[in-house]
Amino acid sequence: MSKPFVHIQNLSVQYGQKTVLKDLEWIYSTGSQWAIGGKSGSGKSTLAKAIAGQVSYQGSIDLNTPERKVLYVPSWYQFTNLEGDRNFYYQQRYNTQQRKDTQTVKSDLANFAKDANLLLEDSLPLMEALGLTDQLNAQLIALSSGEHKKMQLVKAFWQRPAMLVIDEPYTGLDKATRSALNDCFNDLSDKGTHLILLTNDTNLPQCINAFAVIENGQLKQVESPLHFTPAEVREAKNLPEFLKEEPTLSSSEIVRLKDVNVRYGDKTVLSDISWQIDRGERWVVQGHNGSGKSTLLSLINADHPQAYGYDIRLFGNQRGSGESIWDIKQKIGLISPEMHWYFDQTATVWETVASGLRDSIGLFSDISYREKQQVNELLDFFELTEVKNDLLQTLALGKQRLAMLARTIIKNPPLLVLDEPCQGLDQSQTQYFNDVVDELCQYGKTLLYVGHYESQLPKSIDHRLLLEKGHIVFNGAIKSVKETTVEQEA
């Protein structure tokens, strides 16, 4: 009988007083390839980090590889500026001057190759497979969240470790890239790398032949990915009363863009964009990674400096006609991957939610007694009261997202701009949040929702905008979310 590739016995991990894994046992047989799913916060990432030697643990983890080389790839991609630090702010990617503060994709790959003793030319087939070749001369900070994920994956595959553990490998990727990624996983498996994919996605590469979930600190093998997140009915709660107040607006026109173009040097990001959103409409915005979705939303969010140079009207007012950025932001509730990446790392969960009242990245001013009550009501609504004094960054990713989502709606804004809001949420959390969005829309809210998965969209969606290489290819009403066929086209 061959020796297991990984043999784990009596594995226990605690964070403070909280036990995440308890006497976990697992035999990872040589030649098997695993996917581990389950609820957000169940301990998947903790198990991965323990195998990679990144957290302290009790028990034993025996690896049957001479080099003991295990590469753990976290769910988010981190990059630095030219001075080697990460002091970015989330609007920075839209600032022409600040964009020059980071390396290009090509120079970043060259430096990585040098540090990891790799050949630069070996990265090019991976870049082509994941659709990044056209971005070689782009600044890192100018990439979309999906393109950053591709960069992270290229570097992981390039190293060909004995074992590759990837946390949420499909986050933010369009359908075409997810399919290409599965081909890369199959190829890596054929070349001898052992895989652990931490995901609830059911469209997995053919090489994955074993499945498990973590429940109550223990690893439990299941028959298929269909058992990753069993249907769970969350406790029905009444929406806080302050969120049922319909917005008072002087105009039925929420957004109007006419012949808008956005360029960076020779690169055109958006081309001849004309689009109107009226009060109460619920839009889904879709397109391939890098198609211009986030840039388009930044024009609406008042985060893009080029917004002043074009014919853009928000809430009935021409941009640059007297309204301040903060006047506009007061009417918009925003969540995006970039905002989450760059959020204040010293903020508690309570401070994170409360900061939405002042549109700040962290809480830096006092709020009223009534506002404090509203924060507490939302924490209870999203089942975050028990962790309200914990640092946001110490929570499982799914709970971090719920806190950020609570921050988005705390001021009861008339316009919700939700850019891939369910990244990191499990199936139950995703359904719960989208049900909340649907209920909010019953009280006069206007919605812009970016999402790649048809199955993870609010049912109230009634309009769709589809972008392709910065151009609008569909703009209009739909009867249901089943008509959001970008997954077939992407």
Tell me the pLDDT band of 455, cut-offs 50, 70 and 90. Answer: low
The candidate with the shortest Cα–Cα distance to 268, out of 142, 405, 386, is: 142
pLDDT of residue 299: 87
Q: Which long-range contacts (CB under 8 A, 24 or more apart) does 260-268 make?
A: 260/299, 260/310, 260/311, 260/312, 261/310, 262/292, 262/295, 262/299, 262/304, 262/306, 262/470, 264/96, 264/99, 264/142, 267/138, 268/470
Residue 364: pLDDT over 70: no
Residue 404: pLDDT over 80: yes
Phi-psi region of 351 (alpha: psi -120 to 50; beta: other; left: phi over 0): alpha
pLDDT of residue 486: 45
Class of domain 241-489: alpha beta
Most confident listed range (188-202, 304-318, 440-454)? 188-202
Per-residue model confidence as pLDDT tens digits over 193-203 = 999 999 988 89
- CATH superfamily ID and name for 6-227: P-loop containing nucleotide triphosphate hydrolases (3.40.50.300)
Domain boundaries along the sequence of the chain: 6-227, 241-489
Per-residue model confidence as pLDDT tens digits over 172-225 = 888 889 999 999 999 999 999 999 999 988 899 999 999 999 999 999 999 998
pLDDT of residue 487: 42
Percent of the chain predicted with pLDDT > 90:
54
Are the CB atoms for 209 and 33 separated by under 8 Å? yes
Q: Say if residue 308 is exposed, middle or buried (CB neighbours under 10 Å; 0-12, 13-18, 19+).
A: exposed
Per-residue model confidence as pLDDT tens digits over 113-150 = 999 999 999 999 999 999 999 889 888 877 888 888 99
Per-residue model confidence as pLDDT tens digits over 56-100 = 999 999 998 766 589 999 986 665 554 444 444 444 454 544 445
Token pair of 312 as six digits: 């853009």
* Same fold flag, 6-227 and 241-489: yes
pLDDT of residue 250: 82
